[in-house]
Structure 1
C-alpha cells in the first residue's frame, strides 16, 4: 500500500526535482552550433528559414545583394496590397477599415461597395452569443488571464457547432466569419466577468449593436457608459487593421499552420494560436512597454532631457533597471530593420488621440525614447544592427489613452489577428497537403537498462 504524502512533502519533492532537472536537462553551451541547428527556425543572418508559401501576407524589411543582407524600410503587404495604401484608402474616405481588411484577407480581393455591405451584415448576424453560453462558460467561470479564457471559449464553441470537423473551404469560411464576429464579445465579456467576480467591480454586460463597426462595438462593450468619440473608434479600428495579419512565419500563425496540417478542426488550431500569442515574446509585449514607460516616468525627473532618458535606457540595457531583462521593450523586431510600417501609421493616429486627451507630453516622451533607444543600444552593445520601434511601442500607449484595461491588450491583438489565423488555416487545408513534421536530433548517449534491484543509491529526486 502506498504511503500517504503530505502537501509539504509534495512541495519539497518538486523543489528537489526541479533543481535536478536544471542540471540534467540543460544542454551544454555550443551544442546547437555543433550540429548546425537553426534555433528558432532562423538563419545566422536573422532571416527566417523558408518552410512554406503563402499569398496572404508579406513582411519585407531587407534585400539580399551578393549574399549580403541589406536593410530597407519596412513594408507590410496584405494580399498584394501595401498597408499604407490600404489604410490611406479607408482613412481618406472617413470610414472604418477592419471589416474591409477582414474581407480582403479571407477572400483574396478587395470587396465592392455591395460586397462590403453584405459582409458587414453577415458579421452583424453572427455578432451575438447565446445567454446560456455567457452564463455557464464566462460569468460562472471567470479567469484571471483573459487569453487562457479566450482559448477555452474557442474550444467550447466546438460543441456549439453542428459541423465542427468539416474542413471544406465553404465550412471553414463560415466558421471563420462566425468566430471573427464573436471574438470581441468573448474577450469583452471575459474581462467584465473578471472585473466583477475577481476584482470586485460592477458587472457591465452590453449587447452588441448590429449597426456598429467591430471597433465601435468593442469600445461600447468595455465601457459602462457605452460611449466613445469618433476619433477613439477610428484609432482602435486602425490598430485592429494593423494587427490583423503578419505573414505565415510569426509564432502564432505558424502554430496555426502546424496544428491545421494534422487535419484537425479550426477550433483546435485557433486555441493553439491563442496560446502562442499569450507569450510575452509575442503578443504580450505591449503590456511590458506600458510597465517600462511607467517606470521611466518615475525615474526620469525631466522628460525633456535627452541625457536623463539616455541614462535610464542605459541602465535597462545593463540590466540595472525595470525588470532587469536588458530589453528595451517595443524596440527591435525579428524582421523589420529600419522601420515598422505599423508603428509609423499608429504613431500618427496616437498623436491625434494624445492631443484630444491632453497627453502630448507623454507622446513626446515616447518619441524621445524611440529616437534615443537605438543609439543607446548600439553604444553599449557595440552593435551596428539596425533597430526600430515596433508597433508594441505605441499600441500599449494607445490602449491606455482609450481607457482599455491592460488585461485586454493582448486579447485585442487576438481579436484582430484571428482574421489572419483563419485565412492561413484555410490556406493550409487547401495547399499544405502534408503534416508539418520537422526533425530533432537526439544527442543523448545510449545507455543500458539496469534492473530495479541493481540500481543502487537513490537519485536526488
Structure 2
C-alpha cells in the first residue's frame, strides 16, 4: 500500500489497517533465543560467519584465507574464474576491448577461447543483440519504473512470450536462451533508463541500436550518451568493471537464488528474473549507491578532505550512528569472505585512479583513498574485531560509474548486465548435474491448537 492509497483511507480504515499491521508483526515474531537453542544457521552461515556448504561448483572460487594446521589464516583475496586468477585474466588478455566477452565465454564453456572460437562467439552475440520495435514500444515504454531493476524483471519475464519454446530446460535450449539474454541485457537496461528519463524526468527520448563491432562496454556508453562518444580509457574501465562483477561464487545471494529456482525445473526467464530480484536488494547489489551517498555526505561535512583527523572524526560519528544515515555503517568496507583485501577492489582501484586523472578528479580519489586507509582500523577498534576489515568492490565502483557519467539509476542494472554471465553459467551447471530440488529445512517452533469457532473468537476465547 503506497502513501497515496494510505491518504485515501478513512480514519476508521487507517485504524483498522494499523491493527492488521500490529497483528502481522506479533504473529511473525520468533524468540531469537530459539535460533541458538536449535543451532539454526541464520543466513546459511555458522557462528563464525562461515557459509554452510550447500553445493559444488567449478565455475569460480573465492579465496579469503588459507587453512594451516586446521586454522584459517587471512590472506590477500583471490578470485578465480574456471580456475584462472582474475588478475591474470585482466593482465594477460590480448583482447583489450572485449575482456568481458572473453570472460563470459570462459564462464559458460570452461576454457579460454582461441581466436576462431572467440570470433564465432562474438558473431553469435552480435546477431542476438537486438530488440524489435514492437517489444520496445509495448514492454519497455509502458509502465516505466523509477527502479530500473523492476523494469529489467518485467522485460525478461515478457521475453518468455516471444520465445517459441520457453519451457524447454534442455541444455541446448537453455544455452540459446542464455546467450540471448546476455546479448540483450545492455539494451534492456539502457532503454529502460531512456524511457524513465523521458516519462519521469521529462527528458529527450533517445533509443539507439547497438553498434556492430562494439564491445558490451562500448555499446553501453554509446547507447547512453547523446553524442555516442567515449574515450578509450572510459570503455576500458567499464569493461573491467563488467569482468569483476561477472561472477563471484555460487553462495552469493543472487547466484544461490539462480540455483534454487533452477532446481525446481522452471524456465530460464523466471530463474533470471528471480536472480535480478535478489540483486535489487540493498544488502546485495545496491551497496555502491550507498557508498556514493555516504561520500557526498562526507564531502559536505568535512571542510578539508586532506585533514586526516577531521575525516576520521566524521567517520567515527558515522560509526556511532550520529551522522549520515544513522545506521552505524561505513559502506563499502568489509566482506563475508575477504579479510586482508578484495581482489576486485584492488584491481578497480588502479583503474579508478587512472580515470580520476583523465577526469581531473584526483582530489575526490584522494578522499576515497584516505577513507579506505583509515576506516578498516576504525571499524576494528570500534567493534572490537580481531580480523582485518578491507574495502570491497563496491567502495570504488560507484565512484567509477559517476566519473563515466552513468546515472545512479543504472548502477545496479550494470551489475546485472555483468552478473547474468555468471547466473547463466550456474543455471547450466545446475541443469547438467540434474540435482534434486533445493529444499532446506525450517523447524516449526509454534504450538498446535484446537480449531476455535467464531463464537469463541468473538468471546475472546481464542488461545494465543
1:182 aligns with 2:213: no
Corresponding position of 2:166? 164
Corresponding position of 1:315? 317
Distance of 1:165 and 1:24 partners within structure 2: 38
1:238-261 per-residue CA deviation (whole Å, 9 max, x = no partner) reads 000000000100000000100000
Corresponding position of 2:96? 94
Q: Please state whether the residue corresponding to 1:74 is helix, strand or coil.
A: strand
Q: 437, 445, 448: which is aligned to 1:446?
A: 448
Distance of 1:363 and 1:81 partners within structure 2: 30
1:78 aligns with 2:101: no
CA contact (8 A) 1:87 1:97 kept: yes
Q: Please state whether the residue corresponding to 2:458 is helix, strand or coil.
A: coil
Q: Please state whether the residue corresponding to 2:46 is helix, strand or coil.
A: coil
1:360 aligns with 2:362: yes
Distance of 1:30 and 1:308 partners within structure 2: 41
Distance of 1:10 and 1:386 partners within structure 2: 52
Distance of 1:300 and 1:336 partners within structure 2: 30
Can you give the 5+ residue segments of structure 2 that lack an aligned partner in the other structure? 1-7
Corresponding position of 2:117? 115
Q: Please state whether the residue corresponding to 1:455 is helix, strand or coil.
A: helix
1:221 aligns with 2:215: no
Describe the shift of the 1:441–1:225 C-alpha distance in structure 2 as closer, same or farther (beyond 3 A). same
Distance of 1:26 and 1:453 partners within structure 2: 27
Distance of 2:16 and 2:390 partners within structure 1: 46
Distance of 2:67 and 2:13 partners within structure 1: 55
Corresponding position of 1:427? 429
1:188-246 per-residue CA deviation (whole Å, 9 max, x = no partner) reads 00000000101111111111111100000001111111111111000000000000000
The alpha-carbon deviation at position 20 of structure 1 amounts to: 3.0
The alpha-carbon deviation at position 6 of structure 1 amounts to: 5.4
Q: 452, 455, 458: which is aligned to 2:457?
A: 455
The alpha-carbon deviation at position 432 of structure 1 amounts to: 4.0
Q: Please state whether the residue corresponding to 2:226 is helix, strand or coil.
A: coil
Corresponding position of 1:14? 17
Query: Which moves more between the two structures, 12-21 or 376-385?
Result: 12-21
CA contact (8 A) 1:127 1:210 kept: no
Q: Please state whether the residue corresponding to 1:301 is helix, strand or coil.
A: coil
> Where do 1:46-85 residues align within 5 Å?
46-85=49-88
The alpha-carbon deviation at position 172 of structure 1 amounts to: 1.2
Corresponding position of 2:386? 384
> Where does structure 1 differ by over 6 angstroms across 4 or more consecutive aligned residues?
none
Can you give the 5+ residue segments of structure 1 that lack an aligned partner in the other structure? none
Please report the RMSD computed on the Cα atoms of aligned residues, expressed in angstroms: 1.4
Distance of 2:113 and 2:72 partners within structure 1: 37
> Where do 1:5-404 residues align within 5 Å?
8-90=11-93, 94-404=96-406
Q: What is the TM-score of this pair, normalised by structure 2?
A: 0.95
Q: What is the TM-score of this pair, normalised by structure 1?
A: 0.96
The alpha-carbon deviation at position 32 of structure 1 amounts to: 0.7
